[in-house]
Chain A
Amino acid sequence: MLDRFELKPTEDTPEIILDPENQVFKISGRSMPEDAFAFYTPVFTWLIEYVKNPNEKTDFICDLEYFNSSSAKKIVELFFILEEIKDKDVKVIWNYEKDDRLIETKGEELQILLKIPVEMVAID
């Protein structure tokens, strides 16, 4: 099994925990690095390895309070990688604060874009 991957949050990058052993796949906080490409590259590297030998079930939790447009692009690309295991039990859980139209809309767009389920969860 692939080793746990973790990035601590900073003022402009999110916390990311990818831990197959404990069934935790989560990105949270805010993502607004100017160079989103550089930031997300190691995450891609990890996920590409993961999909070669994935868990039976992968619930990827997105708990993002804010992200800029270049992060949006990278986040979508992350989920494109997960599409490769769409035959398994894989889904994105998109948390957004009730009334937060900006984040809610981004989740709805993911539903249009992705071939894996995106579950929208409004948090009070």
Chain B
Amino acid sequence: MKTKTIEWFFDILRDDNQCILYSGNFNDDITDRVIQLAEHNIDLHHEKVKIKKRVSYLLAECFQNIIRHGKVEDADDQMKQETGFFMSRNSDSKYYITSGNLIGVEFVEKLEGQLNQVNNLNQEELKLLYRKVITEGEMSEKGGAGLGLIDMARKSGRKLVYKFQEFNDLYALFYNQIILDSEAESVKKEQGAHNIEFAIQMHNKMVANKIILMQRGDFSRDSIIPILNIMENNVMSAIENSYLMKEIFHIMVELLQNIGRHGYEFESEKEGIFALSRNGNEYAVSAGNYIQNEKVDEFNKLLLKINGMTSDELKEAYIELLRDGDVTENGGAGIGLIDIARIATEKFEFKFSKVDTLKSFFTITVKNKLK
């Protein structure tokens, strides 16, 4: 992934409290864990239990909807890979849950009809319809989709936002967005960057840049381990080779802990962005965060120095740091970067962009593949 891509995403997501984007195939494991990651983010922001329950419910419903409407058993993996999309964002006391998936063209009309039906009803009417469907059976023969849609509209208290896009002769792309207010009095209108068209644009950008997962949030100490656990147990389990997976995990640990140690702290959070992408058999871990301007020079020099070293020099430097280096003071950023430079298959790609008089935005991408 290119540095300018991570900057593009960060610019958009910068004011979010939390955000997670996933682009790829959907299966039960992945959906469970992406939900878990999204829930973990809600926990961090100390939302009320009631809101958390509703968000969790809507997340799950959203995924079930994807699986129900999918009907894409015959679509090839590549196709599914490029069309599965999930995004959960929280900003301005609102939660935006957006999903995208393939559906058979023959279901488009019916689904659109159901969505219109649900959107034309007020809350009271939705409640009645819900009861009717529960007692008298589905409003469609397609296992419970109707009920799910009604419930999504009820729980979010808003119209369902959706969009169909052409894909090919057999399939269409269905995007769905649910918006949930965590404060009833919130009256702010959705900004451009939150509407469904923009979500689709982000999805396209992820596909074009082969990004599997992107997360924007707080990377201070307590937040990193759960993220890593979830990444490891799930998203990364797709990596065929367990040792390659371990190396990529190691790169993630070092880059994320690096943000925790050196990131610019604002309101006791170290905000950053992190992404995992895959191009053929090559994986790339990218991280972006603010750092204090006065740290830029030294850090830049360190990275240039590491990039200029041969593998033997890296090994020697690593062993020297283990022998003598005092890493207690700043937690050993140098040793961590040297360590991952040794397993990376390419030189680090990195960039510092000055933001204001206090801080700069730092991005780094580390690539690895099976050797």
Contact = CB atoms under 8 A, between A and B. Distances in A.
B133 interface: no
B277 to A, nearest CB: 21
B144 interface: no
Contact of A12 (B225, B246, B250, B323): B225
B72 interface: no
Contacts of B253: 32, 68
A73 B254 CA distance: 14
A32 B225 CA distance: 9
Interface stretch (B9-17, B76-84, B176-184, B328-336): B328-336
A34 B331 contact: yes
B343 A73 contact: no
B23 to A, nearest CB: 27
Contact of A76 (B315, B322, B343): B322
Interface stretch (A20-28, A48-56, A97-105, A116-124): A97-105
A70 B250 contact: no
Contacts of B228: 32
Chain A interface mostly helix, strand, loop or mixed? helix
B7 interface: no
B332 A99 contact: no
Interface in B273-330: 315, 318-319, 321-323, 325, 327-328
Most chain A CB within a 10 A radius of its CB, from B224, B229, B332: B332
Given A12-B225, A76-B322, A113-B323, A70 B243 contact: no
Nearest to A80: B323
B247 interface: yes
A76 B321 CA distance: 11
B336 A69 contact: yes
Interface string B255-268: 00100110000000
A39 interface: no
Contacts of B107: none
Nearest to A73: B327
Contacts, number: 66
Interface string A1-29: 00000000001100000000000000000
Interface in A57-77: 66, 68-70, 72-73, 76
Interface residues of B, number: 30
B229 A11 contact: yes
Nearest to A75: B322
Contact of B243 (A68, A73, A99, A113): A99
B221 interface: yes
Contacts of B327: 70, 73
A35 B224 CA distance: 12
B339 to A, nearest CB: 5
| Residues of B contacting A: mostly | helix
B236 to A, nearest CB: 13
Nearest to B327: A73
A37 interface: yes
B335 A69 contact: yes
A66 B332 contact: no
Interface of A: 11-12, 32, 34-37, 66, 68-70, 72-73, 76, 99-102, 109, 112-113
Interface of B: 221, 224-225, 228-229, 243, 246-247, 249-250, 253-254, 257, 260-261, 315, 318-319, 321-323, 325, 327-328, 331-332, 335-336, 339, 343
Q: Which 6 A-B pairs have the closest CB atoms?
A: A69-B336, A70-B332, A69-B339, A69-B335, A76-B322, A37-B328
29 contacts: A12-B225, A32-B228, A32-B253, A35-B221, A36-B331, A36-B332, A37-B331, A66-B249, A66-B250, A68-B253, A68-B257, A69-B332, A69-B335, A70-B257, A70-B331, A70-B332, A70-B336, A73-B321, A73-B327, A73-B335, A100-B246, A101-B243, A102-B246, A102-B247, A109-B315, A109-B319, A109-B322, A113-B319, A113-B323
Given A35-B331, A68-B254, 18 more contacts: A11-B225, A36-B331, A36-B332, A37-B328, A66-B246, A66-B250, A68-B250, A68-B336, A69-B332, A69-B335, A70-B332, A72-B322, A73-B327, A76-B322, A102-B243, A102-B247, A102-B343, A109-B315
